[in-house]
Structure 1
Amino acid sequence: MTMAIDSKASTALPDLLPLHDELAALRQHIHRHPELAFEEHDTADLVAGKLQEWGYHVTRGIGKTGLVGQLRVGNGDRCLGLRADMDALPIQEDTGLPYASIRPGLMHACGHDGHTAMLLGAAKHLAATRNFSGTLNLIFQPAEERGFDSGAKAMVADGLFDRFPCDMVFAMHNHPGAPQGRFLMRPGPFLAAGDRVFIKVIGLGGHAARPHLAVDPLVAAAAIVMALQTVVSRNVPPNESAVLTVGRLRAGDALNVIPAEAEIGISVRSFSPEVRALLRDRITTLVHMTAESYGAKAEIRYVEGYPVVDNAADAVALAAEVATALVGPEDVDRDYPRMMGSEDFAYMLQECPGALVRIGNGPSDGGRGLHNPRYDFNDRNLALGAAYWCRLTETFLA
């Protein structure tokens, strides 16, 4: 899909700059009041109130705390979906910012506060200018960070695209480490599928001084962790990509006690269905056999998480064309490398063609990457991101 863009008729960055202070205040308010997955009641109230004020028809309770703001303009028969996520993370903030989280143990450490504010900025401008013809569906989604049974999956199951049909759907996520305002995208698989594995290794507890009378689950668990390191290097074809990371190993409390159980938690990432199935088979087999070789047994709960984010080629072509018109070709990367992170926007892409776009958040040094206690969204992206959404809407719904 290639669409000609009339720069005189489309939104430019200067059109949104007057909204910067308003959007920054809005973003920082959301940042101060983070809410976890499916608990985004205050955030949804704020979003719904703004959309209704600007003339959108708002439908709430889609996928629990999700909502859609719809605006119909003219007689065009095309429909566009734009999605932003609203939830925060269970992280204690360590930024020292004047608008830092006031809720202990909760923080917007992934920029969803900024994603929501950018889309609201676009919503306000588009409602005022109405320079398009068709139906615009603004999707504000809960629970992206949940890892499984997430907000996008819940909204789709709740009939999102049956109730609000879209010809294409787009989402944007900030990208620390890339220059601020640089657009990153690629057609096809962009972000990996992400699965979680919860393992309980069951032994026989006992006295630390009498290990021969016990079955030590910690030793078995340690052997399992080491055995798992061979799965990617020796089972996954070298021309494929996969990641297996053991992020949790827990056992015991007292130094003079051999515990009865140990826990292992694993994050698994892949791009192809074949590799995803291979990883599950090898992990399951290795865990059981290794535990048994130490006289222990294992219980495994294998939870399939988000699918691969698979961007439609024509959607990426449109996204790149719009970004190039907005910021110039030097700040648009149309073939950015695949990433092992996961995103539940993948569930929406399974139902409707579209694309996930990344926008550079600036330097990530000093621990300012995603999911870090010192992370903060770059407010210089608020007007730019809003202008991008406006221009994409005006182009698609020309």
Structure 2
Amino acid sequence: MPTPTDASATIDAVVDKYADDLVELRRDLHTHPELSWAEHRTTEVIARRLTEAGIAVTRPTDTGLVAEVGAGDRLVALRADLDALPVDDTSDVPWASTTPGVAHACGHDVHTAGLLGSALALHELHHRGQLRGRVRLVFQPAEEVMPGGALQMMGTGVLDGVERIFMLHCDPSLDVGELGLRDGALTGAADAMSVRLSGRGGHTSRPHLTEDLTFALGKLVTELPAIVSRRMDPRAGVSIVWGMLRAGSAHNVVPGGGYAAGTVRMLDAVAWADAEALIRVLIDEIVAPYGVTAEVDYRRGVPPVVNDHDSTEVLTAAVRRVVGAAGHVSTTQSLGGEDFGWYLERVPGAMARLGTRTPGGPRYDLHQGNLVVDERATPLAAKVLAEAAHGALSHETTTER
């Protein structure tokens, strides 16, 4: 029977062979980003590359894609997300986005190219008799919207028969060659909230004859986060941050309408179940003294990503094999949301953070248009994902939920 070392050598050889192609693919995707639910070109490009390699693909949704390699009863899955963000690309790289207002500012182009690279390596493992089962490759649309494309893909049966699932997520705070892992909760729960206020407007010289909506809006955006911090267990780490405020069009007019939108994030899944009902009550109580009315649109987003212990060990072994012990770094739970958490409510799995910063280079942040990733991260992602899938299929025990 082939040893893990034999399989690792095959993975390295295949990914190294295609490394330049994977980087070019990632550049192509970066140049032509597509928003959530509109990843038509992206999906076509990936489908064509897989088909040319002899890997059969299916299209369970308009912009989702699934492929499988290997044979046998045991099945694990790998997942990447396809969509970009509605921000301008302000980087000066030659492969910057050519689509105004849309950019791969979260690294999903790296995730996608890395998963395709792992597919090529796993396909070769199968042909050499070095793969002890099947690997399902899930290319998911719409991670950047809530509640996310994971639920749609799960509804098509992509997790049927799956023992474990793995993914990597770009992290520009880590140097390329480093991957961050954590056993247990890795991300937070995340919801989207918007509040539309309406009331009687008028002239700013006569505020007593109006329902001073702008003042009420100011109270809402400052008091809601403060009150929630006293009404919910602080250990839940609840964070309300506003990203959009709109009210008025003239300096001397009290408007009749206003709008605030933001996110509600927390570290704890139990608190996540209770947050919406409390927040709705508090919003009504905050604006009531000013006579305005509030229409709340609260969208439950994603649960925390909670890494299963056994799956974390499998992914850790894969990371250490590819980048060595020095490249395996610990990481902390963040309040960032990731709809991979939905998959982990169904099957065990794990996510790692993939370093994309050039050592000694500039520091970037996700969801910013100037994000630049060290392109060496793409073939590294392919190797780690392939190693994780191979390792999971070589793992003798399975975890049930």
User: TM-score scaled by structure 2?
Assistant: 0.91
Number of the residue aligned with 2:68: 70
Q: Name the aligned partner's letter for residue 267 of structure 2.
A: F
Q: Name the aligned partner's letter for residue 323 of structure 1.
A: V
Using the alignment, how far apart are the partners of 2:95 and 2:368 within structure 1? 16
**Pairwise CA distance, 1:341:** 0.2
Say which of 139, 164, 171 aligns to 1:168: 164
Segments of structure 1 that go 5 or more residues without pairing to the other structure are: none
Using the alignment, how far apart are the partners of 1:372 and 1:263 within structure 2? 24
Are residues 1:38 and 2:37 paired?
yes
Confirm or deny: 8 A CA contact 2:202 2:254 kept in the other structure: yes
**DSSP-derived class of the 2:54 partner:** coil
Confirm or deny: 8 A CA contact 1:35 1:87 kept in the other structure: yes
Residue deviations 1:145-203 (CA, integer Å, cap 9, x gap): 1122x2111111222223xx211111111101112121112122211110111111111
Confirm or deny: 8 A CA contact 1:367 1:374 kept in the other structure: no
Q: Name the aligned partner's letter for residue 351 of structure 2.
A: L
Using the alignment, how far apart are the partners of 2:229 and 2:392 within structure 1? 44
Using the alignment, how far apart are the partners of 1:157 and 1:191 within structure 2? 23
**Pairwise CA distance, 1:90:** 0.8
In the alignment of these two chains, the number of paired residues is: 388
Using the alignment, how far apart are the partners of 1:152 and 1:13 within structure 2? 30
Q: Name the aligned partner's letter for residue 116 of structure 2.
A: L
Say which of 270, 291, 295 aligns to 2:291: 295
Confirm or deny: 8 A CA contact 1:199 1:298 kept in the other structure: yes
Using the alignment, how far apart are the partners of 2:174 and 2:22 within structure 1? 22
Residue deviations 1:14-68 (CA, integer Å, cap 9, x gap): 65233221111111011111111111111111111111111222111x2431011
Using the alignment, how far apart are the partners of 1:67 and 1:275 within structure 2? 34
Aligned-residue identity in percent: 35
Number of the residue aligned with 2:205: 209
Confirm or deny: 8 A CA contact 1:176 1:370 kept in the other structure: yes
**DSSP-derived class of the 1:137 partner:** strand
Using the alignment, how far apart are the partners of 1:89 and 1:289 within structure 2? 35
**DSSP-derived class of the 1:161 partner:** coil
Change (3 A) 1:299 1:240: same
Using the alignment, how far apart are the partners of 1:87 and 1:370 within structure 2? 14
Using the alignment, how far apart are the partners of 1:213 and 1:366 within structure 2? 54
Confirm or deny: 8 A CA contact 2:91 2:370 kept in the other structure: yes
Using the alignment, how far apart are the partners of 1:88 and 1:360 within structure 2? 19
Using the alignment, how far apart are the partners of 1:133 and 1:57 within structure 2? 19
Change (3 A) 1:58 1:8: closer
Confirm or deny: 8 A CA contact 2:166 2:385 kept in the other structure: no
Number of the residue aligned with 2:349: 354
**Pairwise CA distance, 1:367:** 6.5
Using the alignment, how far apart are the partners of 2:385 and 2:370 within structure 1? 28
Number of the residue aligned with 2:138: 139
Confirm or deny: 8 A CA contact 1:63 1:152 kept in the other structure: no
**Pairwise CA distance, 1:121:** 1.2
Confirm or deny: 8 A CA contact 2:56 2:67 kept in the other structure: yes
Using the alignment, how far apart are the partners of 2:159 and 2:273 within structure 1? 29
Point out 4+ residue stretches in structure 1 off by more than 4 angstroms: 12-15, 363-367
Residue deviations 1:194-220 (CA, integer Å, cap 9, x gap): 011111111111122322221111101
**Pairwise CA distance, 1:366:** 5.6
Change (3 A) 1:229 1:393: closer
Number of the residue aligned with 1:197: 193
Segments of structure 2 that go 5 or more residues without pairing to the other structure are: 395-401
User: TM-score scaled by structure 1?
Assistant: 0.92
Using the alignment, how far apart are the partners of 2:234 and 2:201 within structure 1? 41
